[in-house]
Amino acid sequence: ALTDSTSSIIIFRIPEGSRLEEIGQLIDENTLLGFNSMDFLSVVGSNTPQDPTFTAKVGLPANASLEGFMFPDTYQLPANVTPEMLRDIVLERFLEAVGEQIFIDIAQDGYTMYQIVTLA
């Protein structure tokens, strides 16, 4: 059926310049998502271990939040999206949008992506 929830898509937009708390508010306003801002903030906030590959790539310090890495875009999310899936989708989009050359250039200048993002 067309109303089959397993095939439905949730449109979720992260506006440019959104802080983690603001993204949390957008999550609370989106009644289609099966989780709330507290669930999301618990997986992107400080003191939450993040994916070691991503952490190493961007130079994320231990216990740092993912503030600044939530790429602004309109996302098409599966109906069964979890806070962890949303985080991973948004971080993947960040890496795609930034591109590998930027990481190389930043490293040559002696910086990490985390340092650049937190300066922005």
pLDDT per residue over 58-92, tens digit each? 999 989 999 999 999 999 999 999 999 999 999 99
Helices (runs of H) and strands (runs of E) counted in the chain: 6, 2
Give the pLDDT confidence score for residue 3 in this predicted structure.
Answer: 52
Residue from 115, 110, 65 nearest 91 by CA: 65
For residues 23 and 90, the answer to whether their CB atoms sit within 8 Å is no
pTM of the model: 0.89
Query: Per-residue pLDDT for 52 more than 60?
Result: yes
Give the pLDDT confidence score for residue 6 in this predicted structure.
Answer: 52
Could you tell me which residues are beta bridge partners of residue 78? 9
* Residue 57, Ramachandran bin (φ over 0: left; ψ between -120 and 50: alpha; else beta): alpha
